[in-house]
Amino acid sequence: MAAINRDDVAHLARLAHIEMSAEELDRMAIELAVIVDSVKSVSEAAGDDVPATSHPIPLTNVFREDVVGHTFTAEQALSGAPDAFENRFKVPAILDED
């Protein structure tokens, strides 16, 4: 497993949408390298025959009947919004297209 470096951290910060200063990137790279090093034994702990556990208590088929429940008013929905206009959440321009 490759060690984590500053460029990795910069890339991860972009993916995670957290702006970071140069100093933060440097510091985080050092800290993460230590942490990653300390957890690397995990990848050698289990063989291919060991199944993964994603839920500690296995359950299956937990469903909801298709029955309408409560809704918010637009006012409730927008009550915590940093910015809103005409009952919609207002956001600055979007750079990326999709």
* Footprint of other proteins on 58-87 (CB under 8 A): 58-74, 76-83, 85-87
Cα Rg of the chain, angstroms: 22
Smallest distance, Å, CB 46 to other proteins? 4
Phi, psi of 45 (to 5 degrees): -70, -40
Binders in 1-40 for other proteins, by CB under 8 A = 1, 4, 8-9, 11-20, 24, 28, 31-32, 34-36, 38-40
Cβ atoms of 77 and 88 closer than 8 Å: no
Q: H or E stretch including 84?
A: strand 84-85
Residues 37 to 56 in contact with other proteins, rule: CB under 8 A:
38-46, 50-56
